[in-house]
Structure 1
Amino acid sequence: MRVRRVVTTRAGGVSAGSFESFNLGDHVGDDPAAVEANRKRLGSELGLTRLAWMEQVHGRTVTVVDGTETGPAEATDALVTKTPGVALVVLVADCVPVLLGDPEAGVVAAVHAGRVGARVGVIPETLRVMAEQGADPGRVEVLLGPAICGECYEVPADMARDVEKHLPGSASRTRKGTPGLDLRAGLWQQLADAGVGRIGVDPRCTFEDRTLFSYRRDGSTGRLAGLTWVEAE
């Protein structure tokens, strides 16, 4: 089976102002009609008719979907499916979009891994649920998408130490020499320790790259999307 992964930028949509232009978040204060138009374009451009969304809350709840759902998955930060043609969507603007897939089992997952979710173990929980659906960590391929980098993500020293305790490898130093977090580095180590052998990293920093949305940089802003699905044969 073929697993597909896509990450959007802020270009190509109809949103205006601080949401310019391809904002896909419907919870950030943008014109609902613009968000709906952007979401419709997302599906049509990719040839997808079934997009699965979630109400992200910075936790570790994982929800299995099959495309029959009528709305976003409530209070969850990871979606898993083994239904071909159902595209899982994660929305971010500095947090890490994590796209996982076992092409042999045909199981995929999309995860919202911000500081809190990464700290409390949303990735190990996702791997556990994927295994219940037939995936094997040794076959899983992962993309860690665009996110704020460790040189830009400044946090209090106590916070950096706390996250490092739960997510080893995440502590960093910013360009100013202050304590920071590199969530992608910590997640990479966590995935590797779980037996995942193929881990790709999109090196773009949302804070530095103005073609991407960044909440830390702009405050009022949109959300980019990471999507993954198994192609229907």
Structure 2
Amino acid sequence: MLKENSRPVRKVFTTKAGGVSRGPYASFNLAEHVGDEQQCVQDNRKRLQRILGVQHLQWMEQIHSNTVQEVKAVTEEPIAACDSIVTTLRGVALGVLVADCVPVLLSDHEAGVIAAVHAGRLGARNGIVQRSVEAMRDLGAVPERIHALLGPAASGRNYEVPEAMAADVEARLPGSRVLTDKGTPGLDIRRGLLVQLRGLGVHAIHADPRCTIEDEQFFSYRREGVTGRFAGVTWLPDV
């Protein structure tokens, strides 16, 4: 039996608070590509590792693709040109950076497989989550055993888009098209992903309902323009 404090997989989301960045990146920005001082970002990342108690934290070069890469060894550099990383390595935390896109953390603890997924509009539309589940399955995971945690993201009530865009995403990710609080066409990517995951056989799903556009605990590109990124992180603790 597992001890109460010995969970087989860890999943966390950060907020804006607790770091050293200044200005529009205040204060716990974890992204290097948004214009923040690099030393501040590095200090924030080291602080995150210290708080989580992980020695290795693997990031990726997110490009709004549907490309999944397996992490087979620890590297100091981001995994190039992908929007999902999967691993069976223990003690290696996988990180995804967001500021309105959906951070998706997946795990099958029996198979010892985890994934961190950046599901923005384009990536979600083009199947990044489905491809992540398929990559996990190739490593021994079983969809019916996978647990999915969807983090804070832009909600449908605030994510206004042109009608053609809403229709396009709905055609590829059914369940995504909604009406905003203004009565205009909108997208709820989390909602579409819930439908997709269930269709893939993943039923253990939890979704954080908070909207990054309206909740100022989180960075939001749509609300702020120039801003930082918060993170979703998952890892298999060392046995």
Q: TM-score, normalised by structure 1?
A: 0.99
2:79 equivalent to 1:73: yes
1:117 to 115, 123, 130: 123
Q: Quote how far apart the aligned CAs of 1:136 are.
A: 0.5
1:126 partner SS? helix
2:157 to 133, 151, 154: 151
Take 2:98 and 2:127, find their aligned partners in 1: how far apart are those partners? 18
Q: Quote how far apart the aligned CAs of 1:75 are.
A: 0.5
Structure 1 residue runs of 5 or longer lacking an equivalent are none
1:39 partner SS? helix
Q: Quote how far apart the aligned CAs of 1:111 are.
A: 0.2
2:143 partner SS? coil
Take 1:147 and 1:207, find their aligned partners in 2: how far apart are those partners? 8
Give identity over the alignment, percent: 57
Q: How does 1:191-206 map to 2 (within 5 A)?
A: 191-206=197-212
Q: Quote how far apart the aligned CAs of 1:70 are.
A: 3.2
2:28 match: 22
Take 2:72 and 2:20, find their aligned partners in 1: how far apart are those partners? 30
2:110 equivalent to 1:92: no
2:175 match: 169
2:194 to 188, 192, 199: 188
Q: TM-score, normalised by structure 2?
A: 0.96
Q: Quote how far apart the aligned CAs of 1:197 are.
A: 1.3
Moved over 4 A (4+): none
Amino acid at match of 2:106: L
1:6 partner SS? strand
Take 1:67 and 1:51, find their aligned partners in 2: how far apart are those partners? 12
Which stretch has the larger CA shift, 63-72 or 75-84? 63-72
1:158-192 per-residue CA deviation (whole Å, 9 max, x = no partner) reads 00000000000000111110000000000000000
1:137 match: 143
Amino acid at match of 2:57: L
Provide closer, same or farther for how the CA distance between residues 201 and 112 of structure 1 changes in structure 2, counting only shifts above 3 A: same
1:32 match: 38
2:142 partner SS? coil
Q: Quote how far apart the aligned CAs of 1:67 are.
A: 3.8
1:172-216 per-residue CA deviation (whole Å, 9 max, x = no partner) reads 111110000000000000000000010000011000100100000
2:54 match: 48
